[in-house]
Amino acid sequence: MNQDHQGLQCPMSTVSSAGVVDLAIGEGAKASRLFLDTFIHNRFKNQTLQRRDDAAMLNCEALELAFTTDSFVVEPYFFPGGDIGKLAVCGTVNDLCMVDAEPKWLSLGLILEEGFPLGDLSRILDSVEHWCRKAKVDVVCGDTKVVPKGKVDGIFINTSGIGRRVKTNVSSDSIVKENDVVLVSGPIGCHGMSVMAARNPGLVETDIESDCGLLLPLVQTLRNQDVPVKAMRDATRGGVAAVLHEWARQFDVSISVDEACVPVRADVRGLTELLGLDPLFVANEGTMVVVVDSIFATAAVEAMRSVSIGVGATRIGKVHAGRRNPVTVVRGLGKEIPLLEPTGAPLPRIC
Amino acid sequence: MKYVDEFRDRQRCQLLCERILKNATRRWTIMEVCGGQTHGLLKFGIEEALLERVQLLHGPGCPVCVTSKAAIDRAIAMSFIPDVVVVSFGDMLRVPGEKLSLLQAQTAGGQIHTVYSPLDAVKLAASHPNRKFVFFAVGFETTLPATAIAILQAESLGLTNFFVLMSHVRVAPAMEYILEMGTTHIDGFLAAGHVTTVTGISDCQELAENYKVPIVVTGFEPLDLLIGIERCVKLLEAHEHGVVNQYQRVVSDSGNIQAQAVIKDVFEVADQDWRGLGLVPGGGFRLKPLYQRFDSNKLCTDSELAIQNAYRDSARNFPENECRSGEVLTGSIKPKDCPLFGVQCTPQTPFGAPMVSSEGACAAYYHYTLFDSSGGPKNSSRSLS
Amino acid sequence: MCLAVPGEVVRWLQREVPFSEAEVRFGGILRKVNMLCVPEATVGEYVIVHAGIAISKIDAQAAAELLSQVSEMELDEWRRGAAE
């Protein structure tokens, strides 16, 4: 049996016999190399990564490069409709799509808790590989660290992504203004409620699925159908409400939404009613909000509906000139009521 | 969702609004005493729509707002005792005691867990026998049976690690307190539909007779609220008083007998300190002697709590002496009449409980009232189409 | 204080007090609900649930009666008026 210079047994055999992540994996020595060979290089077989250089050299001809980063700490790391690996790819790839860039390359940074099951890690990395393939991106660099038990919740992932802007559908004078129409690509609140149910197994019985997925097909179809998009954003933490507030600030407008038009699935509805939550504040991971000129609203909805992730696309609101209340919702009696900016995680209530 | 969507039907609600405005011959003042109804009236734009003919006042109907600081501080202190976990509804988490809220205490290392039901707290206690679980029992009579059932379950399971920090409150004494005060002119009341589901209408009947006011038992969806208000206005126009039940799909006049039985089994009425109001005689509940062993007061001595309280000394006091919650809770002033409202006092920088709690009147006004450019609330009849 | 939500009784799980419970459906989700206060509820009936316990059955007849306080005829007339 091989021994490293500190006189310990071959860590790989220790790791594989125990079936869990060992501190040695993150130490940069033989155990790291063996771990990387088995878990990373066996999956991500692009030439750039296979070179095992300290940095990836990327070749591209582009008008502009888009660069983004995101970290993923979701708990539990497996949930109906996805897992932390799928999230890590889709989340970052979606951010690149939202600026109309073609996603090309990802970095994959892992922080693992000592004792993390290797079986779970394999599943998560399989998911990363699967979704990279679907998104047509390569993992070209990465890092793995292992921290002592209790210092991290199982697994944290960071992905940074680079995309290139080849052709854009966003015109140079696309300012969001009065009378523009706000659309959503599908039913809202699925991811947040899916994770909440998964995190609290006794709370309800449900298989609410996260909407976690790639928005790329939606962006591509809008581009291919020549629908000019003025603004688009994926509605992650803070939900649709957060996006609308960001836009109201960015473009100095106000936005109103009709509650009756906002699509919510029956199971998500049931859980939000039970807990006294508003779906407009709940996180999504595969749903985007789009602003178009009113003359393109119908075309935009039809284009999105032609793609499977967009079958539920629909109009939800309208842009107005700037007012004291940046975002409002039409409910109840048909009057506009302010929708305040989300300030923290929504807490379930019984009152 | 069945029994929800029909009662949110927009056209029916708009029609009803117009009907109320048309048929009232003068302006009436109606008070509700239920945070859920406060929330609904503002969230669905009903208060604003009826302004011309109905002045809606919001009483102390938010049990979270009226839970005493001492109770919150006790819960916080217990959360720092090594093998104790305080279990609470989400509603209570943001409301500060003397200095800190449960959420802030959690950040500082207090063991606090949120549940949707007290029965979930019992399950936790049953599956973690080497920790002690203290359920922070707040709420009106609507929630009281759930706490009672939790205690009966704990007893049945022979649990010795389940405790209750009692802070339940009773609605009727608060309504009487306000009527006795007489400073706020109130023509009629909406009675909290879910409280009466449990208690029945007898408490309200006594009040209606003694004070000669109409009290309409009302639900929570926009249509329920409007029908309740319309009925109350009709009674007022006809100079009638008494109790009318307009939430009959859920409330029977005698209330829920089984719920009343378990409540009577486990609890007895007690005087209670209401935050913002002071001592309300008969305004709360305590455990009956047979169930005293579940009282969290048994868990530790006051001196042990004093040691736990030490951590809080560095925190600033919650600036409550400038808060006019007492006047807001009794309907004497509206939140927007308070000079701090929306300016210095906001949900992020609250001066009192009614701005922190999601059901508090101040928070409801802050969230759901449109402000015009001059800073005051305005009416808006703009719709989307 | 009052967030109580209507749900349909799908299946009784056990009858023994104080643990009597049924599976109740809300929209698209299921939750176990304590039924001590509503032991007479049958499968298919609706109950109103607060903090994990059912506090009442929903009377379908009474619900219909309340809705009828705004009659269909009145609604039609109002819609016609609104359209003009």
**Which of B41-45, B96-100, C37-41 holds the top average pLDDT?**
C37-41
Burial of residue A54 (CB within 10 Å: 0-12, 13-18, 19+) is exposed
Q: Running DSSP on this structure, what letter comes out for residue B337?
A: G
Q: How far apart are CA A20 and CA A14, in angstroms?
A: 9
pLDDT tops 70 at residue A121? yes
pLDDT tens digits for range A4-27? 333 334 344 444 457 888 888 877
Q: List CB contacts of C72: < 8 A, sequence separation 6 or more.
A: none
Same domain flag for B206 and B181:
yes
User: Testing the interface with A: which of C26, C29, C46 to mutate, by most A Cβ within 10 A?
Assistant: C29
Q: What is the pLDDT of residue A172?
A: 53
pLDDT (mean) for A244-269: 95
Asked if B227 is an interface residue toward chain C (Cβ–Cβ < 8 A), one would say yes
Chain-chain contact of B116 with A350 (C-beta, under 8 angstroms): yes
**B86 band by pLDDT with thresholds 50, 70 and 90:** very high
Q: What is the pLDDT of residue A25?
A: 83
pLDDT tens digits for range B220-238? 999 999 999 999 999 999 9
Q: List CB contacts of B27: < 8 A, sequence separation 6 or more.
A: B52, B53, B54, B55
Same domain flag for B136 and B205:
no
Of the partner residues C2, C60, C79, the one whose CB lies closest to the CB of residue B11: C79
pLDDT (mean) for B30-58: 93
Give the DSSP H/E element, type plus range, for residue B259: helix B257-266
One-letter amino acid at B78 equals M
Chain-chain contact of B91 with A333 (C-beta, under 8 angstroms): no
Provide the domain count of chain B. Answer: 3
pLDDT tops 70 at residue B379? no
Query: Among B169, B168, B189, B191, which residue's Cα sits nearest to residue B179?
Result: B189
Same domain flag for B137 and B189:
no
Give the DSSP H/E element, type plus range, for residue B85: strand B84-88
Chain-chain contact of A351 with C26 (C-beta, under 8 angstroms): no
Chain-chain contact of B259 with C37 (C-beta, under 8 angstroms): yes
Task: Kindly provide the residue ranges of all beta strands, DSSP E only, lying in B222-306, ordered along the sequence.
Answer: 242-245, 267-274, 278-287
Cβ contacts of C25 on chain A, cutoff 8 Å: 270
Of the partner residues C3, C32, C49, the one whose CB lies closest to the CB of residue A349: C3
pLDDT tens digits for range B239-286? 999 999 999 999 999 999 999 999 999 999 999 999 988 999 999 999
Chain-chain contact of C31 with A203 (C-beta, under 8 angstroms): yes
pLDDT tops 90 at residue B343? no
Cβ contacts of A314 on chain B, cutoff 8 Å: none
Tokens of A179: 């009378």
pLDDT tens digits for range B178-207? 999 887 789 999 999 999 999 999 999 999
**B375 band by pLDDT with thresholds 50, 70 and 90:** very low
Tokens of B203: 């408490």
Cα B81 versus chain centre, distance = 29
pLDDT (mean) for B140-160: 97
Asked if B62 and B325 touch (Cβ cutoff 8 Å), the reply is no
Asked if C83 is an interface residue toward chain B (Cβ–Cβ < 8 A), one would say no
> What chain B residue is nearest to C28 in terms of C-alpha separation?
B1
Domain span at residue B275 reads 68-168+256-314
A123-127, A152-156, A342-346: least confident range: A342-346
pLDDT tops 90 at residue C63? yes
Q: Phi, psi (5° rounding) for residue A20?
A: -130, 165
pLDDT tens digits for range B61-84? 999 999 999 899 999 999 988 899
pLDDT (mean) for A169-173: 58
Cβ contacts of B4 on chain A, cutoff 8 Å: 273
Q: How far apart are CA B364 and CA B355, in angstroms?
A: 8
Asked if A35 and A15 touch (Cβ cutoff 8 Å), the reply is yes
pLDDT tops 70 at residue B213? yes
Interface of B with C in 275-334 (CB under 8 A): none
Q: Could you confirm whether domain C5-83 is CATH 3.30.390.50?
A: no
Cβ contacts of A258 on chain B, cutoff 8 Å: 384
Same domain flag for B289 and B146:
yes
Q: What is the pLDDT of residue A106?
A: 97
CATH number assigned to the domain comprising residue B285: 3.40.50.11740
pLDDT (mean) for A161-176: 75
Chain-chain contact of C51 with B139 (C-beta, under 8 angstroms): yes
Same domain flag for B116 and B239:
no
Chain-chain contact of B11 with C65 (C-beta, under 8 angstroms): no
Q: What is the pLDDT of residue B312?
A: 61
Burial A271-299 (b: 16+ CB within 10 A, else e): bbbbbbbbbbbbbbbbbbbbbbbeebbee
Asked if A275 is an interface residue toward chain B (Cβ–Cβ < 8 A), one would say yes
Tokens of B118: 């007290």
Cα B210 versus chain centre, distance = 24
Residue B357 lies in a domain: yes
Asked if A99 is an interface residue toward chain B (Cβ–Cβ < 8 A), one would say no
Give the DSSP H/E element, type plus range, for residue A254: strand A253-258
pLDDT, chain B, mean:
89
Same domain flag for B231 and B342:
no
Cβ contacts of B353 on chain C, cutoff 8 Å: none
Asked if B126 is an interface residue toward chain C (Cβ–Cβ < 8 A), one would say no
pLDDT tops 80 at residue A257? yes
Final residue in a domain of this structure, among B245, B275, B293: B245
The CATH homologous superfamily to which domain A11-165 belongs is PurM-like, N-terminal domain (3.30.1330.10)
Q: Which residue has the tokens 């042990």?
A: B304
Q: What is the pLDDT of residue B376?
A: 43
pLDDT tops 60 at residue B383? no
Asked if C30 is an interface residue toward chain B (Cβ–Cβ < 8 A), one would say no
**A342 band by pLDDT with thresholds 50, 70 and 90:** confident
pLDDT tops 80 at residue A38? yes
**Percent of chain B having pLDDT more than 70?**
91
Query: Among B169, B165, B145, which residue's Cα sits nearest to residue B65?
Result: B169
Chain-chain contact of C3 with A266 (C-beta, under 8 angstroms): no
- DSSP 3-state of A324: coil
Chain-chain contact of B145 with C53 (C-beta, under 8 angstroms): yes
Q: How far apart are CA A200 and CA A63, in angstroms?
A: 47
CATH number for A181-338: choose from 2.40.50.100, 3.30.2020.30, 3.40.462.40, 3.90.650.10: 3.90.650.10
Minimal Cα–Cα distance from C61 to chain A, Å? 23
- DSSP 3-state of A310: helix
Chain-chain contact of C59 with B250 (C-beta, under 8 angstroms): yes
CATH number assigned to the domain comprising residue B26: 3.40.50.11750
Any idea where the domains of chain A sit in the sequence?
A: 11-165, 181-338
Q: What is the pLDDT of residue C44?
A: 97
> What chain B residue is nearest to A265 in terms of C-alpha separation?
B1
Chain-chain contact of A351 with B63 (C-beta, under 8 angstroms): yes
Query: Among B1, B384, B4, B351, which residue's Cα sits nearest to residue A334?
Result: B384
pLDDT (mean) for B100-128: 93
Residue B200 lies in a domain: yes
**Which of A134-138, B106-110, B181-185 holds the top average pLDDT?**
A134-138
Chain-chain contact of B37 with C2 (C-beta, under 8 angstroms): yes
Interface of B with C in 27-86 (CB under 8 A): 34-37, 61-64
Same domain flag for B47 and B176:
yes
Asked if C45 and C9 touch (Cβ cutoff 8 Å), the reply is yes
Q: Which residue has the tokens 């339940």?
A: B168
Q: Which residue has the tokens 């005293």?
A: B292
Cα B300 versus chain centre, distance = 28
pLDDT tops 60 at residue B13? yes
Cβ contacts of B368 on chain A, cutoff 8 Å: 337-338
pLDDT tops 90 at residue A297? yes
Chain-chain contact of C6 with B256 (C-beta, under 8 angstroms): no
> What chain C residue is nearest to B146 in terms of C-alpha separation?
C53
**A276 band by pLDDT with thresholds 50, 70 and 90:** confident
Q: What is the dihedral of CA A100, A103, A107, A113, to 10 degrees?
A: 80
User: Testing the interface with B: which of C13, C55, C57, C80 to mutate, by most B Cβ within 10 A?
Assistant: C55
Q: How far apart are CA A177 and CA A252, in angstroms?
A: 9
Chain-chain contact of C29 with A205 (C-beta, under 8 angstroms): yes
**Number of neighbouring beta carbons within 10 Å of residue B14:** 22
Chain-chain contact of A331 with B43 (C-beta, under 8 angstroms): yes
Same domain flag for B309 and B331:
no
Q: Read off the pTM.
A: 0.87
Burial B173-208 (b: 16+ CB within 10 A, else e): bbbbbbbeeeebebbbbbbbbbbbbbbbbebbeebb
Same domain flag for B133 and B271:
yes
User: Testing the interface with C: which of A194, A200, A273, A351 to mutate, by most C Cβ within 10 A?
Assistant: A273
pLDDT (mean) for B130-150: 97
Chain-chain contact of C1 with A203 (C-beta, under 8 angstroms): no
Q: What is the pLDDT of residue A173?
A: 58
Tokens of B228: 């309740």
Q: What is the pLDDT of residue B314?
A: 56
Chain-chain contact of C1 with B120 (C-beta, under 8 angstroms): no
Asked if B281 and B271 touch (Cβ cutoff 8 Å), the reply is yes
Chain-chain contact of A330 with B383 (C-beta, under 8 angstroms): yes
Maximum Cα interatomic distance, chain B, rounded to a whole number of Å: 65
Cβ contacts of B369 on chain A, cutoff 8 Å: 338
Final residue in a domain of this structure, among B297, B314, B331: B314
Q: What is the pLDDT of residue A341?
A: 84
pLDDT (mean) for A245-266: 95
Cβ contacts of C79 on chain B, cutoff 8 Å: 11
pLDDT (mean) for B377-385: 33
Q: Neighbouring chains of C at 3+ CB pairs within 8 Å?
A: A, B
**A57 band by pLDDT with thresholds 50, 70 and 90:** confident
Minimal Cα–Cα distance from A272 to chain C, Å? 10
One-letter amino acid at A285 equals E
